Amino acid sequence: MELQTKPIEALLEEERVFAPPKKFREQAIIKDESVYKKAAKNPEKFWEEIAKELEWYKKWRKVLKWKPPFAEWFVGGKINVSYNCIDRHVKTFRKNKAAIIWEGELGETQILTYWDLYREVNKFANVLRSLGVKKGERVTIYLPMIPELPIAMLACARIGAPHSVVFGGFSAESLRDRINDAQAKILITADGGYRRGNIVPLKKNADEALKETRSIEKVIVVRRVGEKAQIEMKEGRDLWWHELMKDAPSYAEPEKMDSEDMLYILYTSGTTGKPKGIVHTTGGYLVGVHITTKWVFDLKEEDTYWCTADIGWVTGHSYIVYGPLSNGATSLMYEGAPDYPDKDRFWEIVEKHKVTIFYTAPTAIRTFMKWGEEYPRKHDLSSLRLLGTVGEPINPEAWMWYYENIGGKRCPIVDTWWQTETGMIMITPLPGVTRLKPGSATKPFPGIEADIVDDNGKSIKTGAGYLVLKRPWPAMLRTIYGDPERYVEQYWSRFPGMYFTGDGAKRDKDGYFWLLGRVDDVINVAGHRVSTMEVESALVDHPLVAEAAVIGRKDELKGQAITAFVTLKEGVESSSNLADDLKRHVVKKIGAIARPEEIIFTAELPKTRSGKIMRRLLRDIAEGRALGDTTTLSDPAVIRELKEKYEEKET
Ligand code: PRX
């Protein structure tokens, strides 16, 4: 593994500092730094105090059992996540408070109060039970951003059936692999979804996927699109959601789950071709997302909170569904694209619902910048009081643009670093306390011990290195589904005793963390994780391709874009048609997020004498840099020719 910490903007010393506005600080949930000290002094006690904010059927015997690298949190405790996210609030004045405000792409709005959510989740939990789903059995969910998605997740949590949500943008083959890995019994999908007015054929993809799965017994189909979706319902297998719900009983007793029972699996890309099923459990996960939502977003009773992620990713799991609902908040979810019907859609939604907290990705912010200030300016954004970002490093220019044009220079920005694996936000400002520096995620959350180390695992006080986590945290992944060895190898072997994040980071003289991007074979395209190996496997699966090397090239909007270097089989001619065909092939195999931006045909790939492809040199070429060290190449002429060819193409 090579450390490629060429942080571009981030290494330029950023001098601007933004202290929390006085009024914000005075009203903030966390107003001073004492929590950091308290948590550092006795982290287990700190987490234990937080756990008491939730309702447990049975208290834990021990806060943490740590047999590195396997952790158990709140050992012996019994709790139910759906009870804590719904029932707990229904018993209070929150019964008729909006839990979910849903904004459809076509302009519809649906508001589910906590009571509505309670009713729907209970009924759907009974539907699942009536179909024979038992505690511990996996349910795959492949839905668009419609209210049935959180309802289905919470119903699974209620009966103790771990869910595996598959992002609606994934292909039939990706869905198939995830169903097979989890050995899911039930699939929940929709006839289709909307994206920029087009129909996403979810049910058709599901039918395709199910040709090669054996575990699925029933498919529950939500009607979102209707006639236009032109789907077929398979007799004996496919059931309509609305028909099942019609007569479902209105109360389902929640399972008393052990703290360490599995809550969900979520697949994410790693350094190999096969996505990893990240396992999150019940008690610790809820404690982690509960408190980070409350403190990082300074979440108050009267807030209208909007996280723009898709629930198909971890951000949606933790910060649209579980974190906000655990806090009894109002969480907004939007079905569609930011530019549908026009480029001011987000700002129209902020104005319409008087959103107070807004959480999005840097890639979206850069896109808004490109579209221009006139779009946010059309709307009254004065309800906003706090902004957040997640998913990739934010460049200081985008930060400033966000701060000025969306936040009206009055809203702090929380740049939150975390991962599917961490389950919860790990490095972040606390908005009433932290002095912000544009482009820095600032400091670890209280109780979190993050560090930056060199190649030998030695801590680097100031400067760049590898980001590691040195102490277990409640929402950490517990394992990789069905593959504990890979869990150990992937996260805990590079630096013994430390969790390796796969990210590079720099620490400045004030102890602030600056994230520098991945240092492994994972690419971050518009905040989405794509594995170079996965794209390479998809390419070589094409009958005309001999070999492929995929890299992430710096891209102004998406952070990184995918460039593929491809050698064709003997006698096959390259052409732009073939390049398009290869791109389509990758979309079919993985999904649109993995579509290569450019495909470069080459007679040979640069390799070391031992036959390893030198991706570092390919990145140098694609990013227009002088070639680094080429002495280990078996044939240095290959790379020189490739560079010339690439530059010709560029001009
Ligand atoms: O490289 C880091 C980047 O996103 C990766 C995690 O991706 P995923 O598991 O898909 O989760 C994304 C949302 C939590 C990290 O390894 N990343 C995430 N947030 C930030 C970030 N990089 C820099 N700054 C961030 N705030």
CA 619 to centroid of ligand 1, rounded, Å:
21
- The alpha-carbon radius of gyration of the chain (Å, integer) is 24
Dihedral in degrees, nearest 10, Cα atoms 603, 607, 612, 617: -100
Unique residue bearing structure tokens 């804590």 = 84
Confidence of residue 610 (pLDDT cuts 50, 70, 90): confident
502 sits in which H/E element: strand 499-507
Q: Is the distance from CB of 329 to CB of 298 less than 8 angstroms?
A: no
Q: Average of pLDDT values for 56-85?
A: 98
Q: Which residue has the higher pLDDT, 582 or 533?
A: 582
Which helix H or strand E contains 619, and what residues bound it? helix 615-622
Residue nearest to atom 24 of ligand 1 (CA): 393
pLDDT digit string, tens, across residues 282-316: 999 999 999 999 999 999 999 999 999 999 999 99
pLDDT digits (tens, 9 = 90+) for 352-383: 999 999 999 999 999 999 999 999 999 999 99
Atom of ligand 1 nearest to the CA of 394: 24
Is residue 123 scored above 60 in pLDDT? yes
Distance, CA 390 to ligand 1 centroid (Å)? 7
Residue nearest to atom 4 of ligand 1 (CA): 391
- What pLDDT score was predicted for residue 274? 84
- By alpha-carbon position, which residue is closest to atom 26 of ligand 1? 417
Average pLDDT over residues 473-482: 98
Q: Which residues of 144-172 are buried (b: 16+ CB within 10 A; e: fewer)?
A: bbbbbbbbbbbbbbbbbbbbbbbbbbbbb
Q: What is the pLDDT of residues 144-162, one digit of tens each?
A: 999 999 999 999 999 999 9
Ligand 1 mutation target, pool 279, 390, 415, most atoms within 8 A of CB:
390
For ligand 1, atom 15, name the residue with the nearest CA: 419
Ligand 1 closest atom vs CA 389: 26
Q: How many CB atoms lie within 10 A of CB 580?
A: 11
Measured from the CA of 418, which atom of ligand 1 is nearest?
14
Cβ–Cβ < 8 Å for 427, 440: no
**Residue 558's pLDDT band (boundaries 50, 70, 90)?**
very high
Q: Greater confidence, 632 or 547? A: 547
The residues near 590 (Cβ < 8 Å, ≥ 6 apart) are 170, 171, 173, 174, 530, 534, 535, 538
Task: Using a pLDDT cut of 90, give the percent of the chain over it.
Answer: 90
Whole-number pLDDT of residue 135: 98
Q: Are 601 and 548 in contact (CB under 8 A)?
A: no
Helical residues (DSSP H) of 381-495, grouped into ranges: 396-401, 484-492
In sequence order, what are the residues at sequence separation of 6 or more whose Cβ sits closer than 8 angstroms to the Cβ of residue 26? none
Pocket residue to mutate for ligand 1, from 524, 528, 530, 593, most atoms within 8 A of Cβ = 524
pLDDT recorded at residue 4: 46
Whether residue 8 is predicted with pLDDT greater than 50 in this model: the reply is no
Q: How far apart are CA 430 and CA 32, in angstroms?
A: 9
> What is the CA(371)–ligand 1 centre distance, in A?
24
Pocket of ligand 1, candidates 8, 267, 500, 503: which has the most ligand atoms within 8 Å of its Cβ, to mutate? 503
Transcribe 261-291 into DSSP letters: SEEEEEEE--SSSSPEEEEEESHHHHHHHHH
Question: Cβ(128)–Cβ(121) under 8 Å?
Answer: no
Rounded to whole angstroms, how far apart are CA atoms 151 and 145? 11
Cα separation of 22 and 356, whole Å?
Answer: 18
Beta bridge partners of 417: 427
| pLDDT tens for each residue of 520-546 | 889 999 989 999 999 999 999 999 999
Weakest-pLDDT range from 113-117, 403-407, 426-430, 516-520: 516-520
- Asked if residue 12 has pLDDT above 60, the reply is no
Distance 516 CA to ligand 1 centre (A): 10
Type of residue found at 518: R
Predicted model pTM: 0.94
Which residue minimizes the CA distance to atom 6 of ligand 1? 419
Which pLDDT band, with edges at 50, 70 and 90, does 20 fall under?
A: very high
Provide the percentage of residues in the chain whose pLDDT is more than 70.
98
Q: How far does residue 139's CA lie from ligand 1's centre (Å)?
A: 26
| pLDDT in the model for residue 646 | 87
Q: Once rounded to an integer, what is the mean pLDDT over residues 491-517? A: 96
The single-letter DSSP state of residue 402 is I
Average pLDDT over residues 177-192: 98
Please report the sign of the dihedral spanned by the C-alpha atoms of residue 254, residue 255, residue 256, residue 258. Answer: negative
pLDDT at 406: 98
Determine which residue's CA is closest to atom 25 belonging to ligand 1: 417
CA atoms of 447 and 347, how far apart (whole Å): 36
Dist CA 18 CA 276 (whole Å): 39
Kindly report the protein residue whose alpha carbon is nearest to atom 11 of ligand 1.
419
Sheet containing 450-453: order of strands: 450-453, 463-469, 499-507, 513-518
pLDDT higher than 90, residue 391: yes
* pLDDT above 90 (res 434): yes
Buried b (16+ CB within 10 A) or exposed e, 97-117: bbbbbbbbbeeeeeebbbbbb
Candidate from 313, 315, 419, 426 with most ligand 1 atoms within 8 A of CB, to mutate: 419
DSSP letter, residue 126: H
Q: How far is the CA of 269 from the centre of ligand 1 (A)?
A: 12
CA distances from 151 to 120, 146, 221, 353, 437 (A): 7, 9, 14, 22, 38
User: Average pLDDT, stretch 182-186?
Assistant: 98
**Could you give the CA distance from residue 138 to residue 124 in angstroms, rounded to a whole number?**
15
Q: Is the pLDDT of residue 442 over 80?
A: yes
Q: How many CB atoms lie within 10 A of CB 584?
A: 12
Residue 13 has what pLDDT?
62
- 637 falls in which pLDDT band (50, 70, 90)? confident
What's the pLDDT at 378?
98
On the question of a cis peptide bond just before residue 341, with omega within 30 degrees of 0, the verdict is yes
Quick one: which atom of ligand 1 is closest to the CA of 515? 23
The residue whose CB lies within 8 Å of the most ligand 1 atoms, and thus the one to mutate among 318, 515, 519, 520, is: 515
Q: What does the alpha-carbon distance between residue 323 and residue 364 come to, in Å, rounded to a whole number?
A: 22
Size of the chain, expressed as the number of residues it contains = 651
Span from the CA of 417 to the centroid of ligand 1 (angstroms)? 6
Atom 13, ligand 1: residue with shortest CA distance: 391
Confidence (pLDDT) at 6: 43
pLDDT value of position 578: 97
Please tell me the predicted confidence (pLDDT) of residue 614: 87
| Gap from CA of 83 to ligand 1 centroid (Å) | 30
For atom 7 of ligand 1, the residue with the nearest CA is 419
Q: pLDDT (tens digit, 9 = 90+) per residue, 188-246? A: 999 999 999 999 999 999 999 999 999 999 999 999 999 999 999 999 999 999 999 99
Query: Is the pLDDT assigned to residue 275 strictly greater than 80?
Result: yes
Pocket of ligand 1 (CB under 6 A): 268, 314-315, 390-393, 415-420, 441, 501-503, 515, 517-518, 524, 529
In angstroms, rounded to a whole number, what is the distance separating the alpha carbons of residues 163 and 127? 15
CA–CA distance, 500 with 488 (Å, rounded to integer): 10
For residues 116-126, give the mean pLDDT.
99
**CA separation for the pair 432, 425 (Å, rounded):** 17
Ligand 1 atom with least separation from CA of 501: 16
Report the separation in Å between the CA atom of 395 and the middle of ligand 1, taken as the mean of its atom positions. Answer: 14
**CB-based burial label for 174 (10 Å; 0-12, 13-18, 19+):** buried
Q: What is the dihedral of CA 67, 73, 74, 75, to 10 degrees?
A: -40
3-state helix, strand, coil split of the chain in percent (to 5) is 35, 25, 40
Q: Is the pLDDT of residue 11 over 60?
A: no
Residue in the block written with tokens 């220079």: 409
- The pick from 170, 296, 418, 452 for probing ligand 1's pocket by mutation, whose C-beta has the most ligand atoms within 8 angstroms, reads 418
| E strand or H helix that includes residue 26 | helix 22-27
